[in-house]
Amino acid sequence: MSKKITRRSLLKSGVAGSIAALLLRSKPSKAHQIKTYQNSMGVLVDLTRCVGCRSCEAACNAEQNMPVPAKPFTDQSVFDEGVHGHKRRTDENSLTVVNRYDVPGLDHPLFRKVQCNHCQEPACLTSCFVAAYTKTPEGAVIYNKDVCVGCRTCMIACPFYIPTFRYSSAFDPSIVKCIFCYDTRLKHGRPPACVEACPQEALTFGKRKDIIKIGRRRIEENKGQYEDHIYGEYEAGGTSWLYLSSVPFEKVGFDTSISHVPIIDHVKNFLGIVPMVLTIWPALFTGFHLLATRKERRAKDKSTNGQEVGK
């Protein structure tokens, strides 16, 4: 053994490692500047207007050539399908669903449309290591099936549980999510199919900055009729789809615990440590191991040497 690891040298390297760890640790995250597109589009969803007619679901199904559902879109019994308080979710056959909420103290139910919110700093996009997602200048978060490897990290990253996976097809698996009708409509400046189909104008399409103004005005002009908050203006760093509600948002299925910084900011610190852990920990723990087993090895060496002498 040419180089012995002594207690001293081990402690030395341990201290050095700790100092390095402290120095190399990534800076505490500040809410970073989100790169936003000035003229990106959005949709304002006014829950006080929605009557649960499911015209948006039907329009989406037709526009995106989705399979025919088991029940027609006129069937309101789907609102009672959820078990144990769970509501319907987007799946590989439906990019948008409407859910009913019977809010205590309210004489009429409220309806909430669910689809991709098209975040300004999408967690699906930042979590994707093959860059299958793109945030377009128009505001849509689109997905490229050709580069996707099917890891489904985006499904875990999304704070709104939107991307779904086509498990049913072994030969054509892919992530399925709302793309803001990007290919067929948004790219050409037209509103998505669901917005055009809504009879109640519960969905208002426009530039994100404009629909925020409209939302603020509705809150101001109709005192007491709206919660003084536009959901999505800041949530998860801001979303392109924004919501107005007459009741607290958590009562109609919104996650109000989502912080106002992009999801990536929550994991940046951790991800910064990963390379350091990978380089320092192996050396450190190998050292511990060698130190802990030193006596044993020495005893073994001695006994081997003794045998040799005895021969």
Partner 1 sequence: MKRIVRTAMMFLLTLWLVSPARAFTAMDVDDAPESVTIDYLQELYEKVEFDHTMHTDMFGCNACHHHTTGDSPANDSCLRCHADPEPADDVSCSGCHEEKQSGATLSSDSNSNVYHIDKPSLKGALHLQCVGCHQSESGPTGCLDCHSFTPAGKKRFKIRE
Considering the rule CB under 8 A, would residue 232 count as an interface residue with partner 1?
no
Ordered strands of the 41-46 beta sheet: 203-207, 41-46, 241-244
What is the total count of residues that contact partner 1 (CB under 8 A)?
34
Closest CA to 180 of 52, 48, 63: 63
Binding residues among 12-71 for partner 1 as defined by CB under 8 A: 44, 49, 51, 53, 55, 58-59, 61-62, 68-69
User: For residue 49, what are its two tokens?
Assistant: 């207007």
Angstrom CA distances, 270 to 39, 159, 253, 273, 277, stand at 33, 18, 30, 5, 10
Return the number of the residue (199 or 248) whose C-beta is nearest partner 1: 199
Binding residues among 188-207 for partner 1 as defined by CB under 8 A: 189, 191, 195, 198-201, 204-207
CA–CA separation, 166 vs 181, rounded Å? 19
Considering the rule CB under 8 A, would residue 247 count as an interface residue with partner 1?
no
Considering the rule CB under 8 A, would residue 187 count as an interface residue with partner 1?
no
Return the number of the residue (4 or 108) whose C-beta is nearest partner 1: 108
Considering the rule CB under 8 A, would residue 135 count as an interface residue with partner 1?
no
How far the first Cα of the chain sits from its last, in Å, is 23
Considering the rule CB under 8 A, would residue 211 count as an interface residue with partner 1?
yes
Strand partners, 47: none
Residues 6+ apart with CB under 8 A from 297: none
138-177 footprint of partner 1 as x/- string (CB under 8 A): ----------------------------------------
User: Which of 72, 137, 253, 275 is close enough to bind partner 1 by CB under 8 A?
Assistant: 72
Helix (H) or strand (E) holding 22: helix 7-24
Return the number of the residue (123 or 195) whose C-beta is nearest partner 1: 195
CA–CA separation, 91 vs 170, rounded Å? 16
Considering the rule CB under 8 A, would residue 210 count as an interface residue with partner 1?
yes
Q: With contacts defined by CB under 8 A, name the span among 217-225, 240-248, 256-264, 293-301 that binds partner 1.
A: 217-225
User: For residue 220, what are its two tokens?
Assistant: 């101001």
Return the number of the residue (252 or 264) whose C-beta is nearest partner 1: 252
CA–CA separation, 119 vs 241, rounded Å? 8
Binding residues among 84-113 for partner 1 as defined by CB under 8 A: 108
Considering the rule CB under 8 A, would residue 263 count as an interface residue with partner 1?
no
User: Which of 172, 221, 228, 308 is close enough to bind partner 1 by CB under 8 A?
Assistant: 221
Return the number of the residue (195 or 236) whose C-beta is nearest partner 1: 195
CA–CA separation, 66 vs 91, rounded Å? 11
Structural contact between residues 69 and 94, judged by C-beta atoms closer than 8 angstroms: yes
Structural contact between residues 23 and 188, judged by C-beta atoms closer than 8 angstroms: no
Instruction: Give φ, ψ of 114 to 5 degrees.
Output: -115, 130
User: Binding residues for partner 1, per CB under 8 A?
Assistant: 44, 49, 51, 53, 55, 58-59, 61-62, 68-69, 72-74, 108, 189, 191, 195, 198-201, 204-207, 209-211, 213-214, 217-218, 221
